[in-house]
Structure 1
Amino acid sequence: MASPKPVKILMLHGYTQNGSLFRAKTRVLEKRLQKALPSVSLTYPTGQIQLKPSDVPGFDGNPTESTEAYGWWRRRDDSDPPEYAEGPFDGVIGFSQGACFAAVVASLLDGDTRRKAFEEARSRSKHAIAYPKSFEDLDHPPLKFGIVYSGFIPPGERYEALYNPPIHTPLCHFIGSLDSVVEEARTQKLVDAAGGNDKTQVIVHPGGHFVPTSKQYLDIAAGFVEQAMRPKPEVNGNKEESAEDMDVLAVDLLNPTPQAEARKHKLKTLVPAPRSFFMDVKCPGCFTITTVYSHAQTVVVCAGCSTVLCQPTGGKARLTEGCSFRRK
């Protein structure tokens, strides 16, 4: 029996970290991924820029001392992303600045669509960056997945081509509700810029600026990678799914049928709101999928086990800890 094909993941550390430190901080995640995918191989490069003490927030030591703190770029750094001999990679995982860089790598590997986006952006604005030279001749397929912890996007029209059109690679976003370094609004901009063929997932945890290592969050990350690496089923001809076989919950919510009224979970109250959307929410207990309106004004419970999935907060549906969702 042939051994399974290795699953190679690129691990990108945050600002002021290095590859060795990031591996130490994510060792429990590495073990969980190895349990789910025994053939997984993680690569932890270190950023090419060694930071000076003055670059490290809160550093009070001798400014001439050397540090083991590294970054992928400093502000106003116009250099291309670094080149490494490892790969090709199936996916990428990044934290903070590394999460921003992970999304950039996923975007640049989108293929001809992304190259065309750079050309169009350059034709519209002289400030737009060109497609990086280090990626022009790179023979690497699009990534199958990305997991980003406390991610964000760089501001300004210079980088528009990286996110418009949205990133094709499926991304799983982890957001700390108490993160004071990368605020939720900044991460939300990256969420909005990641299309991923409707495969984007967002998980909110009650912590701050770190990679959550509780079992439920490790299981979500491992499950996301497993799903991305699962062989895609073959499509039989051009047969489309029948409308009768689809769970059109958006219609049910707007015009509930007697069958919908009898569901175990409460129907959501719809309110007019800009940029509102429906989302599939996965229960952290029984993993049942329930559709929730982003601006629901009632408590929503799981149809499978009656776990509370969200509550109205400030006009929006605030998801319960451990829930994951993707926009419909």
Structure 2
Amino acid sequence: MAEIRAPGKPRILCLHGFRTSAKILETQIHKWPESVLEKLDLVFLDAPYPSTGTSGVEGIFDPPYFEWFQFQVLQDHTEYQNFEECIAYIEDFMVQNGPFDGLLGFSQGAALSAALPGMQEEGSTLTKVPKIKFVIIISGAKIGGSKYSAPRLAANAFLAPIKCSSLHVIGEHDFQKTEGLALIESFVDPLVIHHPKGHTVPRLDDQSLKIAHNFIEKILKLATT
């Protein structure tokens, strides 16, 4: 049964990181102040596949843990498993529980969130749902990054500039920092929050909170159009 949409709030599908869960991302996001959260209708989704290995959050957050798709770096390319099935799973959820205005993702979920608008624009996926109006990318990167190949379905996701509004959250000590900075260049209308931490959902200091509020004002207008 579809959840009731909160009136006047942008409805956002939230995609968690590799080998974590919807509950974990919800806990992480709720470090953000109520002045941000009260304006957003956040829906958290577990990835379709149980973790196939050790989770980086074991001992910090309780299981179960999930992953969106699997990958293996080979000598000259990257091999992906279940990527197309993952995209179909997300689209089915959006059909049944939407409409969604935008996406929020952390880590592996951020890579998906960043790629999906371009994939939708070229007509390779998300053809059954309204156009994605904005994305919030936390510790993100292009799928495959700068060194490895992308899945076939996402191969053209960044050929054209991504026109939807975007907010990028990048940590000074995040191992994804370089890839996250490169990702910004693919978006035509990015706002960026820099924080001093690593690969995490950070708390928002005064400067970050101002940027977040500016972005929310922008997407509030988009959600009503």
- TM bucket by the smaller chain? 0.7 to 0.9
In structure 2, what is the Cα distance between the partners aligned to 1:209 and 1:14?
10
Alignment TM-score, normalising by the size of structure 2: 0.75
Pick closer, same or farther for the CA change 1:231–1:74 going to 2, 3 Å: closer
SS of 1:230's partner is helix
TM-score w.r.t. the length of structure 1 is: 0.53
Larger radius of gyration: 1
Deviations 1:24-81 (A, max 9, x none): 111133733244x2xx3210010111113x3435979xxxxx9511111111124331
* Aligned-partner Cα distance in 2 for 1:166–1:70: 31
**Does structure 1 residue 222 correspond to structure 2 residue 219?**
no
**Which residue in the other structure is 1:165 paired with?**
160
| Greater RCO structure (CA 8 Å; 6+ sep) | 2
1:96 aligns with 2:85: no
Once the two structures are superposed, the pairs formed by residues 110-129 of structure 1 within 5 Å of their partners are 110=121, 114-115=122-123
Q: After superposition, where does 1:1-328 map in structure 2 within 5 Å?
A: 4-29=7-32, 31-35=34-38, 37=39, 40-52=40-52, 54-57=53-56, 67-75=63-71, 76-77=80-81, 78-80=83-85, 81=87, 82=89, 83-84=92-93, 85-110=96-121, 114-115=122-123, 131-132=124-125, 135-136=126-127, 138=128, 140-155=129-144, 156=149, 158=152, 159-180=154-175, 182=176, 184-195=177-188, 199-216=189-206, 217-230=208-221
Q: CA offset at residue 6 of structure 1?
A: 3.6
8 Å CA contact 2:30, 2:37 repeated in 1:
no
Say whether the 8 Å CA contact 2:15–2:109 is kept in structure 1: yes
Secondary structure at 1:28 match in 2 = coil
- C-alpha separation between the residues in 2 aligned to 1:28 and 1:97? 20
Distance 1:192 1:34 in 2: 27
Where structure 2 has 5 or more consecutive residues not aligned to the other structure, the ranges are 1-5, 72-79
Deviation at 1:4, TM superposition (A): 5.0
**CA contact 1:194–1:200 (8 Å) conserved in 2:** yes
Count residues in correspondence: 194
Amino acid at match of 1:144: K
Deviations 1:198-256 (A, max 9, x none): x1122221111111113332342232022122269xxxxxxxxxxxxxxxxxxxxxxxx
Distance 1:223 1:58 in 2: 31
